[in-house]
Structure 1
Amino acid sequence: MPTPASICLLRTSAIGDVTHVVPLVRTLQAAWPQTRLTWIVGKLERKLVGDLPEVNFVTFDKGAGFAGMRAVGDALKGQRFDALLQMQVALRSNLLSLFIKADQRIGYDKARAKDGHRLVVNQRIPARTGEHVLDAMGSFCEPLGLKQTQVRWDIPIPDEAHAWAAEQLPGEQPTLLVSPTSSHVLRNWRPERYAAVMDHAATRGWRVVLVGGPSELERRLADAVIAACRHAPLDLTGKDTLKKMMAMLVRAPMLLTPDSGPMHMANTVGCKVLGLHAASNPNRSGPYSDRRWCVDKYDEASLKYLGKPASEIPWGSKIERPGVMDLIPVDEVIDRFEACAAHLGLA
């Protein structure tokens, strides 16, 4: 198969998912350094990955509706790609892909396609089940004749972000970062349970730092967590940026979080993740490199809410039901904290 001159990647969101695309970009660059890569990405997500070298980014403003799609079309006017990697199956993304001209239009297999996806692609990735989202993204190079055999991120972090993180987290005291909020609210744990784990870490000599974005949901949950704490954490909610968060994750050995973007950001820099999983399957969407420190109640949730074990429900099913995260007890999270601390030599 000849080396493609140009490839367009379409994955606009969300934060966790765009981190899963970065290793694919690295795979393509390593195999075909002369191939021009263009990535259609969301406004927020571009703030995290938009400085990857040798990639032309085109921002899609999903809030602008059809005008946002037309703006992408205008930015690509006159361009035709050898291949489009259509890595998002939502209706909006399928419509957006119609503004991109490409000979090969590679999409998901039939089982994972929806919302008219089959109408906008002419090739499909191999049909597989039981794989992590990152591996599914990586398989988009297979119809081009490549295989992703290494996973590398190296997302750039500016010096000023490192300097800011050093000011917030000075010295050698081990830091537990706590990012309590997923945009999927039914994935969020109870404030008093976060507080119990945070208080435990504080009594063990750890610096505990609450982090999150500027949204009202994140501020409200952060306030509830702080109110339940006996040992006040350092509250940086709404004060960082995505790059500053990455820099903090470089300095912090551990992050406590539900299935969310920060979980995958942490994984890219080797920060260990105390992941809270009941609504989602950690083997599909948990921290890719190391899931030993996650608390996994997904099978229990499947039995309780769906009446069958996780092995009998479709791969990737989300069990986002009221109360599902209550299946995760505080003592099991503290156990994972202690085990991870011991592994890191910080017990």
Structure 2
Amino acid sequence: MKHSLPAHPRHIAILRLSALGDVCNLVPTVRALQRQWPDARITWIVGKTEHALLEGLSGVEFVVYDKATGFGGMRQIWRQLRGTRFDVLLHMQQALRASALSLGLECDLRVGYDKARAKDWQHWFTQRQLAPHPRAHVLESFMDFARLLGVEDTSLDWSLPIPDAAYIEAARLSGEAPYLVISPCANPRLRNFRNWSAEGYAAVIAHAWERHGLVSVLSGGGSPQEREMGEQIRRLCPQVEIVDAIGRTSLKGLLALLDRARAVIAPDSGPVHMANALGTPTLGLYATTNPDRAAPYCWRRHVVDRYPDALAHYLHQTPESVNWGTRVRHADAMSLITLDDVVGQLDRLLAETAMNRDDGGIHRPEDGPATQDDREPNA
């Protein structure tokens, strides 16, 4: 039995707890829902860290879940939302923790991914599934929820809130000179293997200074791995000015830093999607994850893409022969990215966006955000 969709939902729940890049990719779906039903309430159940990034997002009520609190935190959310009934719950988190949390929410309809995209048995916890969308980018998978509800205007809008205090924080670190942000490390999870080399980043920093007059600002969290990477990079660049902001910004401060940057370089991680959401020219470094699925959406043609080479070298496969989203979990895969790959793309990116800067330092792709008709293949 196919459950009916609400024609005009009055209260929409979004369940997406993590991660930073994913919640950035989800914001255009929220904006599309708001355009379609400006009077509808939207409640987003989100992780604690992710809320720090999104706080102040217009027209959204946040309910914050701290995964460190476990089942106790779920019960607290159930109590907080007791008596609240949603017309539809958009279950966008493919994890058993999120599915368990969803069971305590009152709603008329639970919508989740189709079986091909669902993980951790998510389809057992939903009543209506998305239409199949093979080889979809993460942002497009989120937008499929809006499409299922009948939203037609899927143009991209983020409008992430950044308070004045965050710009002051960023300016205190970066100074007045034009700068490039390099966020060298992805989330230091087990077998993540998304990081390029300190030697490679050091050479790019020297190139950015000598060729383009750009100071490099290193960003990242305060983990030992990230701090050690920053120290290695600085040791390799004794003659070049580097601002080390690793572990020294709030999330809003990082947004402001990315917003004012001339460009951003990072592996598949939160900062490339944060920069993309702000319209800042973004150069993603990809070998262990598929950029067709997870590149910074508006800057996909500027990524360094060694994913097919990594598949061939370490898994003896091609992008067409593996499951969508397959990762190459090999510690040496990112070494397939060469210095020429990165500086070549950086030079092209800076040249193509040189005339597209406004007085506020916000940048946009030359032809604007992709629309429903002109998105790239496999996106």
TM-score between the two structures when normalised by the length of structure 1: 0.96
Is contact 2:215–2:241 with CA below 8 Å preserved after alignment?
Answer: no
Are the aligned partners of 2:46 and 2:62 in contact in 1 as well (CA < 8 Å)? yes
Partner deviation per Cα, 1:235-288 (whole Å, 9 max, x = no partner): 111111111111111211211100000000000111111211000111110110
Paired letter, 1:90: A
The aligned counterpart of 2:254 is 245
Query: In the alignment, is residue 160 of structure 1 matched against residue 187 of structure 2?
Result: no
Q: What's the secondary structure of 2:312's corresponding residue?
A: helix
CA contact (8 A) 1:209 1:233 kept: yes
Task: State the Cα distance separating 1:145 from its structure 2 match.
Answer: 1.9
Name the % identity.
42
Give distance in 1, aligned partners of 2:76 and 2:223. 27
**In the alignment, which residue of structure 1 is the partner of 2:216?**
208
Letter of the 2:180 partner, please give it: L
Structure 1 contact 139–147 (Cα < 8 Å) conserved: no
Which of 203, 226, 242 is the equivalent residue of 1:196?
A: 203
Q: CA deviation at 1:331?
A: 1.5
Aligned partner of 2:147: which letter?
E
Residue from 271, 280, 287 that aligns with 2:296: 287
**Alignment match of 2:23 (pick from 12, 18, 24):** 18
Is the CA contact 2:12–2:89 (under 8 Å) kept in the aligned structure 1?
Answer: yes
Counterpart CA distance in 2 for 1:91 and 1:273 is 33
Amino acid at match of 1:208: S
Contact 1:13–1:42, Cα closer than 8 Å, also in 2: yes
Deviates more, 1:111-120 or 1:149-158: 111-120
- Tell me, yes or no, if structure 1 residue 81 matches structure 2 residue 90: no
Aligned partners of 1:169 and 1:251 also within 8 Å: no
The gaps in structure 2 that reach 5 residues or longer are 1-5, 356-379
Contact 1:180/1:194 (8 A) holds in 2: yes
Q: What is residue 54 of structure 1 aligned with on the other side?
A: 59
**Matched residue of 1:256: which SS?**
strand
Report the Cα offset of residue 160 of structure 1.
Answer: 1.2
CA RMSD of aligned residues (A): 1.4
- In structure 1, what residue type is equivalent to 2:62? F
> What is the match of residue 63 of structure 1?
68
Secondary structure of 1:208 counterpart: strand
2:332 matched to 1:323?
Answer: yes
**Deviation by residue 1:29-72 (Cα, 9 ceiling, x = unmatched):** 11111111100000000011121122110001111111111111
Report SS of the residue matched to 1:187.
Answer: coil
Q: 2:86 & 2:280 partners in 1: Cα distance?
A: 37
CA distance in 1, matches of 2:130, 2:225: 37
Q: Residue 169 of structure 2 contacts residue 249 of structure 2 at CA under 8 Å; is this kept in 1? A: no
Bigger drift between 256-265 and 311-320 goes to 311-320
Paired AA for residue 177 in structure 1: V
The aligned amino acid for 1:120 is F
Report the alpha carbon displacement of residue 217 of structure 1 after superposing the two structures with TM. Answer: 2.3
Where 2:185 maps in the other structure, the secondary structure is coil
The counterpart of 2:287, out of the listed 254, 273, 278, is 278
The answer to whether residue 315 in structure 2 is matched with residue 306 in structure 1 is: yes
1:174 aligns with 2:175: no
SS at match of 2:64: strand
Post-superposition offset of 1:342: 1.7
What SS does the corresponding residue of 2:193 show, helix, strand or coil?
helix
